[in-house]
Chain A
Amino acid sequence: MDVTSRQFSDKAHQALRDTVLQKALGHIEEGFVEARKNAAANLPEFEELRDRGRDIRAHVIEHLGAYLRQFEDQVYAQGGRVHWARDAAEARQIVAEICAEQGARTIAKSKSMVTEEIELVPHLEAQGLKAVETDLGEYIIQLREEKPSHIIAPVIHLSKEQVSETFHEHHQIHGFEDKLTERAELVAQARSVLRETFMDADVGITGANFLVAETGSVVLVTNEGNADLVTSLPDTHIVVTGIEKVVPTLNACHTLLRLLVRSATGQETTTYTSFLTGPKRPKDANGPSNFHVVLVDNGRSAMINTQNREMLHCIRCGACLNHCPIYANIGGHAYGSVYPGPMGAVLTPQLAGLADSVDLPNASTFCGKCEAVCPVRIPLPKMMRHWRESEFEQHLTPTGMRFGLGVWSWLGRHPALYRLVQRCARLGMRVLARNGWIKALPLAGKGWTAWRDMRAPDGESFQSQWAKRGKKEPA
């Protein structure tokens, strides 16, 4: 997976100065955070369901091979085909070969983060195919030649005016010459343009939110209905998804769906939840004649026996992005990965290598909100901490920070000296303080005090107070 995460710091600074982006990010609180809070509060068993969701995902990963075999058997029993791809290149080749077999020229795509991860659309376009994203957000960024900035809301970084500009530039060839100002008009125009794509497409490509082992079903959730047009109009349906998406049963899937949608958009359910199982049956009134599932590994199997195993539990709701104070201030593009925010800070180093993404696990205040809202209780801060440890072990930490951490670590192993240095620092900080606040800290660089003052130490340290109390529990 190609990433530009080495530019994280520069892009984060640019994002903070981008007033249009800052205004757009302001919609997250009301649009996602409040909605999730209300949705969770309205289901009495929500917290219990989170435990069940975590247990289902842990159970699946414990038996992942067995459940994938069961899923594969069921897909074949229903007349579909399953393909296995070790990496992105194999996955792209499989999809391109199926398209070639079908003599496809136009492909309608619905939103899928795995296809973003393997960069499928540019590959198909390079083969001379017309591959059109049909999710409204994905369609907009395809026109703008950008990457999604959020895993469920790809154009959360854009304003209505920017979308209007984009449509005005690209839709004139479809006969739409006026520049639009209303959201409803923009949506209606995209509907009109994309309806032609749905009707022309030879192949439909989707991801999968879940794969059901007991039935061989592919489960898709959307609000727009584009995935349902993609899977019911073209004669061939190709599903491209990660190997970790399998769940044992339909009932297990419903438990996860209740969690997924509430955590993602704050809805109780999406408008469309579709269970798709194989190709058209002989007597069916309609449906695709060909049904293919491409199971993509691309680094996932390598996570099984690592400290990041629980990242395979992720159901891609985006709640950790929505609640992250870092993401809320810089948006997704600064991360330089298709997986931004806390889940991306854990996943990107795994998929793209830590050396190319070392800033991402450090882009966290460790406030813990990501874990607090994760529908399957993935301990994201703990996993980011693991990456920071790996960073230090692999000598990827900048020299100055490495020296500072080394000094602190050495002091930590010499308690008497530690206390002495602490006393000196406390005295020094009191000297620097004016009215209890310090405006500039020597040795700490400009970063800390550039935007806020530091409180001067007040009274004695915790350790000396503890010692005075004789290590007794307070009354």
Chain B
Amino acid sequence: MANAREHILSRLPDAQPAPHSWQEPFAPISTLLPSDRRRTLFADKLAQNKATFSEVLARKSIPGAVARHVAKQGYAGKVILGQSLAALPWDVVDLECHWVSGENDLPLEDGLMMVSDCFAAAAETGTIITRSDQHQDSRLNFVARHHCVVLDERDLLGPYEDIWVHMQSQQKAMPRSVNFITGPSRTADIEQTIELGAHGPASLHIILVRAESTRPESGEL
């Protein structure tokens, strides 16, 4: 089938686009929000998409927020933690934690609570974005029954297009996988009625770590 390629290409228009023939699309103006409105829109969109949301003032408070979420869910099993969260003070909370240390170390059975980081979020639709790398096992986003994601407010952007600019400021190469996730897994295949937890997580909780610039003066949330 070596010549299938030549056969197909010979039948297609092959002219290179002229330098100015292509107008790169840009984000709709309604998605371009000032940073102070992003958090509000993000929270609204999360609720609209059936995800839940809490805030902390510093990364060291993440274990406490996870513990509160675990209690609220009535979850009693072990909590699976992504590698990038290992340095946090998990000993201050009463959780049975399991840190994923390698490719063969992620439990794939159903029913578990898993906690991971994301590298950005788009307020446009309440979407968190994860990317694969040496510390991020992308499977964790999909095999969990309950997924809890940590987002740094400095990584909360407006429209999708800004995600790629943000990523390129950190790395030039495209990661193997970039996953945009908006709410828990769902299906409406049976009689057009939405049921959560089709194959991926049945619940999604976002813990937002507030940026210094937007922290309340009282120091409390």
Q: Which residues in A have some Cβ–Cβ distance to B below 8 Å?
A: 24, 27-28, 30-32, 43-45, 48-49, 52, 55-56, 59, 61-66, 68-69, 78, 83-86, 90, 93-94, 134-137, 140, 153-156, 158-160, 163, 183-184, 186-188, 190-192, 194-195, 198-199, 215-217, 223-226, 228-229, 231-233, 243, 248-252, 254-255, 257-258, 265, 268-281, 283-287, 295, 297, 301-302, 304
**Nearest 5 CB-CB pairings of A with B:** A225-B200, A31-B192, A65-B14, A224-B198, A65-B12
With known contacts A31-B192, A69-B9, A274–B17 Cβ distance under 8 A:
no
| Residues in A neighbouring B26, C-beta threshold 8 A | 251
Distance between Cα atoms of A250 and B163 in the complex (Å):
10
Q: Are the CB atoms of A279 and B176 closer together than 8 Å?
A: yes
Q: Are the CB atoms of B177 and A275 closer together than 8 Å?
A: yes
| Residues in B neighbouring A228, C-beta threshold 8 A | 138, 141-142, 179, 200
Checking A190, A265, A286 against B103 with a beta-carbon cut-off of 8 angstroms, the contacting residue is: A286
Can you add 7 more A-B contacts, CB < 8 Å, to A195-B109, A286-B137?
A43-B28, A63-B14, A136-B190, A183-B193, A225-B201, A284-B132, A304-B13
Name the residue of chain B whose CB is nearest to the CB of A285. B137
CB proximity of A360 to chain B, nearest CB, Å = 25
Checking B12, B29, B164, B176 against A278 with a beta-carbon cut-off of 8 angstroms, the contacting residue is: B176
- In B19-43, the 8 Å CB interface with A consists of 21-30
Q: Are the CB atoms of A49 and B28 closer together than 8 Å?
A: yes
CB proximity of B49 to chain A, nearest CB, Å = 8
| Residues in A neighbouring B106, C-beta threshold 8 A | 286
Name the residue of chain B whose CB is nearest to the CB of A256. B25
| Residues in B neighbouring A66, C-beta threshold 8 A | 13-17
CB proximity of B129 to chain A, nearest CB, Å = 9
Main secondary structure of the interface of B (DSSP, over half): loop
Q: Are the CB atoms of B177 and A43 closer together than 8 Å?
A: no
Q: Are the CB atoms of A229 and B142 closer together than 8 Å?
A: yes
Q: Are the CB atoms of B13 and A45 closer together than 8 Å?
A: no
Q: Are the CB atoms of B143 and A229 closer together than 8 Å?
A: yes
Which residue, of A154, A233, A284, A304, has the highest number of chain B Cβ atoms within 10 A?
Answer: A284
Name the residue of chain B whose CB is nearest to the CB of A214. B174
Q: Are the CB atoms of B17 and A84 closer together than 8 Å?
A: no
Q: Which residues in B have some Cβ–Cβ distance to A below 8 Å?
A: 1, 4-5, 7-9, 11-17, 21-30, 45, 49, 83, 100, 102-103, 106, 108-110, 124-125, 127, 132-139, 141-143, 159-161, 164, 174-193, 195, 197-201
With known contacts A228-B142, A272-B179, A274-B180, A285–B132 Cβ distance under 8 A:
yes
Q: Are the CB atoms of A44 and B8 closer together than 8 Å?
A: no
Q: Are the CB atoms of A231 and B177 closer together than 8 Å?
A: yes
Q: Are the CB atoms of A223 and B134 closer together than 8 Å?
A: no
Q: Are the CB atoms of A43 and B13 closer together than 8 Å?
A: no
| Residues in B neighbouring A59, C-beta threshold 8 A | 17, 21-22
Checking A86, A231, A255, A277 against B7 with a beta-carbon cut-off of 8 angstroms, the contacting residue is: A86
Distance between Cα atoms of A89 and B109 in the complex (Å):
37
Distance between Cα atoms of A24 and B190 in the complex (Å):
10
Checking A43, A55, A159 against B191 with a beta-carbon cut-off of 8 angstroms, the contacting residue is: A159
Distance between Cα atoms of A75 and B80 in the complex (Å):
33
Q: Are the CB atoms of A64 and B138 closer together than 8 Å?
A: no
Q: Are the CB atoms of A229 and B12 closer together than 8 Å?
A: no
Distance between Cα atoms of A249 and B108 in the complex (Å):
34
Q: Are the CB atoms of A191 and B182 closer together than 8 Å?
A: no
Distance between Cα atoms of A215 and B188 in the complex (Å):
32
Q: Are the CB atoms of A229 and B200 closer together than 8 Å?
A: yes
Q: Are the CB atoms of B5 and A84 closer together than 8 Å?
A: yes
Q: Are the CB atoms of A85 and B4 closer together than 8 Å?
A: yes
With known contacts A153-B189, A269-B127, A275-B177, A187–B198 Cβ distance under 8 A:
yes
With known contacts A225-B142, A284-B176, A94–B1 Cβ distance under 8 A:
yes
- What are 15 sample pairs from A and B whose C-beta atoms fall under 8 A apart? A65-B13, A65-B14, A66-B16, A134-B199, A154-B189, A183-B195, A224-B198, A228-B200, A249-B24, A254-B25, A257-B160, A273-B127, A285-B103, A287-B176, A301-B8
Checking B22, B134, B135, B183 against A248 with a beta-carbon cut-off of 8 angstroms, the contacting residue is: B22
Name the residue of chain A whose CB is nearest to the CB of B181. A272
Q: Are the CB atoms of B189 and A84 closer together than 8 Å?
A: no
Q: Are the CB atoms of A271 and B182 closer together than 8 Å?
A: yes
CB proximity of B51 to chain A, nearest CB, Å = 10
Q: Are the CB atoms of B21 and A225 closer together than 8 Å?
A: no
CB proximity of A184 to chain B, nearest CB, Å = 5
Distance between Cα atoms of A252 and B25 in the complex (Å):
6
Distance between Cα atoms of A243 and B141 in the complex (Å):
30
Distance between Cα atoms of A52 and B161 in the complex (Å):
15
CB proximity of B52 to chain A, nearest CB, Å = 15
Checking B191, B197, B199 against A194 with a beta-carbon cut-off of 8 angstroms, the contacting residue is: B199
| Residues in B neighbouring A186, C-beta threshold 8 A | 190
Which residue, of A55, A78, A274, A285, has the highest number of chain B Cβ atoms within 10 A?
Answer: A285
| Residues in B neighbouring A155, C-beta threshold 8 A | 189-190
| Residues in A neighbouring B9, C-beta threshold 8 A | 65, 68-69
CB proximity of B75 to chain A, nearest CB, Å = 17
Checking B25, B45, B180 against A272 with a beta-carbon cut-off of 8 angstroms, the contacting residue is: B180
Q: Are the CB atoms of A63 and B180 closer together than 8 Å?
A: no
Name the residue of chain B whose CB is nearest to the CB of A272. B181
CB proximity of B15 to chain A, nearest CB, Å = 6
Q: Are the CB atoms of B174 and A223 closer together than 8 Å?
A: no
| Residues in B neighbouring A68, C-beta threshold 8 A | 9, 12
Name the residue of chain A whose CB is nearest to the CB of B194. A223
Distance between Cα atoms of A226 and B4 in the complex (Å):
31
Q: Are the CB atoms of B13 and A217 closer together than 8 Å?
A: no
Distance between Cα atoms of A65 and B27 in the complex (Å):
27
Name the residue of chain B whose CB is nearest to the CB of A162. B190
Q: Are the CB atoms of A286 and B1 closer together than 8 Å?
A: no
| Residues in B neighbouring A283, C-beta threshold 8 A | 133-134
